[in-house]
């Protein structure tokens, strides 16, 4: 499955268990990511938007059979997509925001917009 961010940017989900739906039905993202969720939501609400839809996948790395999580959450205005991806090696994951097609680290984006 792919999620189209812009004409030139798309996010591919690995094969595995995938759920999607309105943000009111999103699974728990874990303590650290839930804090990011609240900060991002607060910034968006101040600007007349909100996080409104999610895609959440659980998959396994075939060589280690280690479980990993991949999610994308989008804003109601369609300008923001937050992606969290766990890699198979230390430091191999991503936690980024695409805002108007520009990619930024979550911490950096929150800092700029707080």
Determine the structural domain holding residue 77 and report its residue range.
Answer: 2-113
Give the CA distances from residue 64 to residues 13, 18, 32, 60, 89, in Å, rounded to whole numbers and listed in that order: 19, 20, 24, 8, 11
Q: Per-residue pLDDT for 39 more than 70?
A: yes
Contact 97, 82 (CB under 8 A): yes
Q: How many domains does the chain have?
A: 1
The sign of the dihedral angle between the CA atoms of 47, 81, 56, 28 is negative
Q: What average pLDDT does this structure show over 89-102? A: 86
What mean pLDDT value characterizes the chain? 90
Please state whether the predicted TM-score (pTM) of the whole model is above 0.75. yes
Enter the tokens of residue 25: 């039905």
Contact 66, 38 (CB under 8 A): no
Q: What average pLDDT does this structure show over 52-81? A: 89
């Amino acid at each position: 499955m792919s999620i189209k961010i812009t004409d030139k940017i798309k996010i591919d989900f690995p094969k595995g268990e995938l759920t999607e739906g309105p943000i009111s039905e999103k699974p728990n993202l874990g303590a650290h990511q839930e804090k990011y969720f609240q900060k991002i939501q607060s910034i968006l609400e101040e600007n007349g938007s909100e996080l409104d839809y999610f895609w959440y996948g659980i998959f396994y790395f075939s060589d280690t059979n280690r479980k990993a999580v991949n999610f994308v959450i989008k804003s109601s205005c369609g300008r923001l997509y937050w992606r969290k991806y766990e890699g198979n090696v230390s430091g191999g994951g991503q936690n980024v925001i695409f805002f108007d097609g520009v990619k930024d680290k979550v911490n950096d984006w929150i800092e700029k917009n707080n």
